[in-house]
Structure 1
């Protein structure tokens, strides 16, 4: 009986995921879908613009109001800002600049040869956990993981004889699903969220809260320990569920553009050696330039390197461009795959030619996200959800789990981590302080929910880009394909990560530096 049940469960899961994939792929092309959603939001905003809401918008201190996107003033504002909305869409510049350097490294063969060398000495069993861990580590470089780790995940898996979409799934789970995990090093998200938490905590009616200070590393121990959980989830699901399900999915991409595992030739080995020297030398120069206390790479105010205002943090994408361009060029000249500067430009042009579809999707995605934000519908959903959770007065463990679930649901509509926390935190942090729960704990619960559904929402700014990466290998990939691919990770993270947080709380394990579980802090 047990064996039959065990054998039946994967079949049931596969059938559910197959239905999700089929239904999702019947949706219009992602670009058109965003355009249709834009029209739907405009109509809903018109219908709800006359309604009166009592909920207070923490950003303005006034009662929240849905803005009518079909009003003449809103329409003219939308059209007048259309070009700027598109060109300032955050992922657009990040993707295109990074792809210029990656394009050269790929065109000359540096990435292909480097991966073949790495795979020749890496045990096949450890490919998945290492890839997920690298995805988590990439948060130090802000959004670099989306344009660097995820496509390389596909290349690594394909070169190792495994399904490339499984590599994309594992990398996506680490980069985006594990967004709130840290790998022994803080990310720019830590001070950003802590600052918003501090502002929210000072809204409390307790006079002592007016001077409360939140340490930027208040969740550091929890998020570091969470890395092990995220890697374990990514490893087990990829190898036991995702990759077996992909066995019948044919790889029908352009064979000429896909990596191979042929033995390295003498010219390739020589090119790798000199490219490695160039990369190490470039990295050494960067390290030497950031070490001095007065380095121009540091934040002008705090002198920290990891502060969001530090030029180093703001230069991550240009640095990716440089650190792949230099070894790519050196490899090309030494290995003989690039004869002159025209070949380098050709490599950049080749990379940009593959970005045409992404640019089209990014245009409509940028317009939709802008309009949805302007309508205030996302803010209304977030505030109403937080207030409903407050009114329910659940037991504390259930309330904390509720914060996770509320955040996970709001995350499907509001992509920005800071925007969501500015809305939800201003309600939840002071509310739970009144119940004796510290802002540190509330923030940790938010971070779990914020990460878990990143990988299944088409409103994630980088979601269209992941579809483009998938289509390089499986041309029929659509929204349904990617959601079905990532849904098991999302559900597992929601359940297990929430349990992990509650376990920290139950065992009174410190969440981070200067953090507490109770408010006011127990002596």
Structure 2
């Protein structure tokens, strides 16, 4: 940026949006790491359990029929049991193993280049008129590879739009809207599905210890949500963002519009073989499930029952169906020269999960204490009594939850950390008024997605600003936030209305996913 540009930027008074974002940034910077949040929560649970254990609340557990009592966790016996079970509590934490196993497979496919090449191929063969919706769709699919969309699809969005003679910032905005704003919209199962389901199940078992949540409980809703997100993103990009960007010229010294060209023969060959390997793997799985006597079915011959080994093997299957094409691609393309390279890819992926593992340790201890204290049950039943007294329709309750989640998302970016914090309260509370954990989870996913793209505290937000500065040197956080605000508002309204309409029609949310819960 030139000295004159810097002077003009300093002389320009901050807009209301800039002031708001500055406030959010300062407030968010004071929030500690999620691991410390859970540690603090553990201390609070201990203190409250000791205090509230002295009182009677007159609430009856709807399942056991017994009076609700708060267990004091600061007694000698409780503390010794906590220490003795700390390791088991951590290793038995449901979301931990689920996420790590799934990410092992995705890590191999990503490190080999299979996923990246697939995304590039999809974008490269797109007709000009369908460039925007296809880019957003690819951005949504990229969730399957964890953070691949942030490091590949978003910068590619700018490159492709620039190559097509359109404003590159519009391509970046559209891709960002799909990757982050549509985070929970995907018709392909990904790591976020078992991750959230694990937290939802843990939260539901506070009220009903036998409750089980299928990892694909929201699959149909998130799949059809992809269409909604693509439609909203398409309209906003071409009718709102691009006309506004006409007043923002691309810098003369910006990166030149590239000639995307074609793929190398070895890349195409590797991708084709890897793709066929994945298809053959899916065919083999279907063939193994079809016979009524298949060992992958339940003893009653059902495929989608919880007792069916197939349903209990979803995460290992995700692992296998990504490892196979990843290995094939790597061998053909030369990215995997030896078997050690495959192990290194898995190790590198696990290296990125260090922060999650630390957070999971403290989260597991917090949830265990929260459950043992009966505080969750007390809050759930007290909240349920309040909701019953207010006599609000279930739809209004769900809308309120979406708005709450979207607001909290501005301050706490991690989807898993947020859900681990508020899930143990919201899930059993809504269960007590007849709303299923699966519907509550679907509402959470909407609220968690729509405000990602306007939060400067989201870890990839500054990275997107860097992508923008390749074309417009003066672009900053305020520029990006103001550009993404129309997407956020439109998705909040449109996606919420879609969930309500979806619920009204009664379309299944996913596999074994009821809308209601009966005590």
Question: What TM-score do you get using the length of structure 2 for normalisation?
Answer: 0.64
Q: Is structure 2 residue 506 aligned with structure 1 residue 511?
A: yes
Aligned counterpart, 1:212: none
Aligned counterpart, 1:152: 148
Q: Is structure 2 residue 281 aligned with structure 1 residue 282?
A: yes
Aligned counterpart, 1:463: none
Note closer, same or farther for the CA distance 1:235–1:415 as it changes in structure 2 (3 Å cut).
farther
Q: How does 1:20-99 map to 2 (within 5 A)?
A: 20-99=24-103
Give, in angstroms, the shift of residue 344 of structure 1. Answer: 1.9
Aligned counterpart, 1:216: none
Q: How does 1:192-341 map to 2 (within 5 A)?
A: 228-229=227-228, 232=231, 264-301=263-300, 303-341=301-339
Note closer, same or farther for the CA distance 1:89–1:474 as it changes in structure 2 (3 Å cut).
farther
Consecutive unaligned residues of structure 1, counting only runs of 5 or more, are: 1-9, 136-144, 182-187, 201-218, 246-260, 430-438, 459-465, 476-480, 518-523
Q: Is structure 2 residue 401 aligned with structure 1 residue 402?
A: no
Give, in angstroms, the shift of residue 391 of structure 1. Answer: 1.8
Cα distance in structure 2, aligned partners of 1:128 and 1:393: 44
Contact 1:222 1:511 in 2 (8 A): no
> How many corresponding residue pairs?
417
Contact 2:289 2:296 in 1 (8 A): yes
Cα distance in structure 1, aligned partners of 2:219 and 2:275: 33
Note closer, same or farther for the CA distance 1:418–1:23 as it changes in structure 2 (3 Å cut).
closer
Cα distance in structure 2, aligned partners of 1:94 and 1:407: 26
Cα distance in structure 2, aligned partners of 1:374 and 1:490: 39
Q: How does 1:164-175 map to 2 (within 5 A)?
A: 170-171=178-179, 173-174=181-182
Note closer, same or farther for the CA distance 1:360–1:422 as it changes in structure 2 (3 Å cut).
closer
Give, in angstroms, the shift of residue 341 of structure 1. Answer: 1.5
Deviations 1:98-147 (A, max 9, x none): 22222222333222222222221245412454257658xxxxxxxxx6xx
Contact 1:378 1:413 in 2 (8 A): no
Contact 1:445 1:501 in 2 (8 A): no
SS at match of 2:147: helix
Aligned counterpart, 2:133: 126
Deviations 1:451-471 (A, max 9, x none): 44455999xxxxxxx978889
Aligned counterpart, 1:346: 344
Cα distance in structure 1, aligned partners of 2:316 and 2:462: 26
Give, in angstroms, the shift of residue 47 of structure 1. Answer: 2.3
Q: How does 1:423-502 map to 2 (within 5 A)?
A: 423-426=429-432, 428-429=433-434, 449-454=443-448, 499=497
Deviations 1:259-278 (A, max 9, x none): xx896322222212222222
Contact 1:378 1:414 in 2 (8 A): no
Contact 2:380 2:428 in 1 (8 A): no
Over aligned residue pairs, what C-alpha RMSD do you find? 5.0
Give, in angstroms, the shift of residue 281 of structure 1. Answer: 1.7
Note closer, same or farther for the CA distance 1:322–1:238 as it changes in structure 2 (3 Å cut).
farther
Give, in angstroms, the shift of residue 323 of structure 1. Answer: 1.6
Cα distance in structure 2, aligned partners of 1:329 and 1:501: 39
Note closer, same or farther for the CA distance 1:350–1:415 as it changes in structure 2 (3 Å cut).
same
Deviations 1:431-468 (A, max 9, x none): xxxxxxxx8xx99975664444455999xxxxxxx978
SS at match of 1:312: helix
Give, in angstroms, the shift of residue 422 of structure 1. Answer: 5.1
Give, in angstroms, the shift of residue 172 of structure 1. Answer: 5.4
Q: How does 1:177-188 map to 2 (within 5 A)?
A: none
Q: Is structure 2 residue 389 aligned with structure 1 residue 382?
A: no
Cα distance in structure 2, aligned partners of 1:269 and 1:326: 17
Note closer, same or farther for the CA distance 1:150–1:355 as it changes in structure 2 (3 Å cut).
closer
Contact 2:102 2:316 in 1 (8 A): yes
Contact 2:110 2:145 in 1 (8 A): no
Deviations 1:261-309 (A, max 9, x none): 89632222221222222222222211221222222222333x3333333
Note closer, same or farther for the CA distance 1:400–1:98 as it changes in structure 2 (3 Å cut).
closer
Aligned counterpart, 2:250: none
SS at match of 1:351: helix
Aligned counterpart, 1:101: 105
Question: What TM-score do you get using the length of structure 1 for normalisation?
Answer: 0.63
Cα distance in structure 2, aligned partners of 1:341 and 1:281: 22
Cα distance in structure 1, aligned partners of 2:123 and 2:271: 14
Contact 2:330 2:337 in 1 (8 A): yes
SS at match of 1:27: coil
Cα distance in structure 2, aligned partners of 1:220 and 1:357: 27
